[in-house]
Amino acid sequence: MAASGAGDPLDTKRGEAPFAQLIDPTREKQTPEQLHSMPRTQLKVLPQRQTRNIVTCLGIGALVLAIYGYTFYSISQERFLDEASGC
């Protein structure tokens, strides 16, 4: 029987699939297969992260502009009310 993590899709003792392990490329030596697959994996994640960052930036910018606009609107209403009441 093969060692756990050596391609076994299911741990027969516990009935669970093994979890992916994070590796630190600066501390551990990788196999050529791992070195080959790392850039491909990073290229898949990069567009998703970039899109998410753009959407987050636009959302925060819209919130800031809404607060800024509401502040100007409320101040202009106060001045109008002050002028109308004659104070």
Digit-coded pLDDT (tens) for 30-82: 778 877 777 776 667 777 888 999 999 999 999 999 999 999 888 887 776 67
Average pLDDT score over residue span 9-19? 59
Is residue 10 pLDDT above 90, yes or no?
no
Q: Tell me, what's the pLDDT at 58? A: 98
Instruction: Using the CB atoms, write b or e for 28-57: b if 16+ within 10 Å.
Output: eeeeeeeeeeeeeeeeeeeeeeeeeeeeee
- 4, 11 Cβ separation under 8 angstroms: yes
Average pLDDT score over residue span 11-22? 62
Is residue 7 pLDDT above 70, yes or no?
no
Domain map of the chain by residue range? 47-84
